[in-house]
Amino acid sequence: EIVMTQSPATLSVSPGERATLSCRASQSVSGNLAWYQQKPGQAPRLLMYGASTRATGFPARFSGSGSGTEFTLTISSLQSEDFAVYYCQQYNNWPPFTFGPGTKVDIK
Amino acid sequence: EVQLVESGGGLVKPGGSLRLSCAASGLTFSYAWMNWARQAPGKGLEWVGRIKSIPDGGTTDYAAPVKGRFTISRDDSKSTLYLQMNSLKTEDTAVYYCTTCGADCYSDYWGQGTLVTVSS
């Protein structure tokens, strides 16, 4: 089973600042990596797939990069609506489709 | 617009059973591959299992913690996905989400979830 790790666990950022979230896989997942955004009391929402393709409805301030075992989600200028928990998930080697433990982005 | 609406959650005793449903609309359900995922209170996301479309074989895969206890099925005539959960354990307490599989099966649409509580 591929193990996904994310860092940091919590990221405190001021509005307007840049946020950089990391996701690492225990073995290569090629580019088959998705990111999800989850706000309190809501279901997760697909943010990024194929490591770098934004899902419908997300603005260009969100960008993804990486391949193999190292991935990054960058939010270029945090807005109030971006404070949430972000999960990565590999869908290259399955079952199972493993999720990372999440990074909480909160207000500094 | 794709909509997924889960139902059937509730309180059940350890060792009991429960069946969840997920009613889908806004998509050609019969061609959709579908997932179940769950989230324990205050915890992260966990993939539970997946079912392929009937044209693609209708086969299922499960996460190790639920294999042999949970069964995913579908009724394409009703555009509904099911999760039959047997021999429930306290650690199965979670919000259960149904999701659609995008290409290569990331979860591109999610329902609002239904809470299952396993407690005596």
What integer is the mean pLDDT of B103-113?
93
What is the pLDDT at residue A16?
95
Confidence of residue A108 (pLDDT cuts 50, 70, 90): confident
Confidence of residue A87 (pLDDT cuts 50, 70, 90): very high
User: CA angle, B118 as apex, A45 and B82 as ends, to 5°?
Assistant: 55
Q: How far is B97 from chain A (nearest CA, A)?
A: 8
**Sign of the CA dihedral with A53 first, then A55, A56, and A60 last:** negative
Reply yes or no on whether the pLDDT at B19 is more than 90.
yes
What integer is the mean pLDDT of A75-95?
94
A40: cis peptide before it, omega within 30°?
A: no
Q: Kindly list the residues from chain A whose CB atom is less than 8 angstroms away from the CB atom of residue B62.
A: 95
Of residues B44, B105, B108, nearest to A97 (C-beta): B105
Confidence of residue A95 (pLDDT cuts 50, 70, 90): confident
What integer is the mean pLDDT of B5-31?
98
What is the pLDDT at residue A3?
96
B118: Cα within 13 Å, side-chain hemisphere: 18
What integer is the mean pLDDT of B91-118?
95
> Distance (Å, rounded) from C-alpha B32 to C-alpha B25?
11
Burial of A52 (0-12, 13-18, 19+ CB in 10 A): middle
What is the pLDDT at residue A94?
81
Percent of residues in chain A assigned helix, strand, coil, to nearest 5: 5, 50, 50
What integer is the mean pLDDT of A72-99?
94
Predicted confidence (pLDDT) per residue in A36-83, tens digit = 999 999 999 999 999 999 999 999 999 999 999 999 999 999 999 999
Higher pLDDT, A94 or B36: B36
Predicted confidence (pLDDT) per residue in A1-50, tens digit = 999 999 999 999 999 999 999 999 999 999 999 999 999 999 999 999 99
What is the pLDDT at residue B6?
98
Burial of B65 (0-12, 13-18, 19+ CB in 10 A): middle
Of residues B47, B106, B112, nearest to A96 (C-beta): B47
Q: Which residues is A24 bridged to in the sheet?
A: A5, A70
At a CB cut-off of 8 Å and minimum separation 6, what does B60 contact?
Answer: B49, B50, B51, B52, B71, B72
Q: Which helix (H) or strand (E) is A45 found in, with range?
A: strand A45-49
Q: How far is B91 from chain A (nearest CA, A)?
A: 17
- Interface check B44 vs A, CB under 8 A: yes
Reply yes or no on whether the pLDDT at B104 is more than 90.
no
Reply yes or no on whether the pLDDT at B61 is more than 90.
yes
- Interface check B105 vs A, CB under 8 A: yes
Reply yes or no on whether the pLDDT at A107 is more than 90.
no
DSSP summary character for residue B17: -
What integer is the mean pLDDT of B76-97?
98
Residue to mutate among B98, B107, B110, with most A CBs inside 10 A, is B107
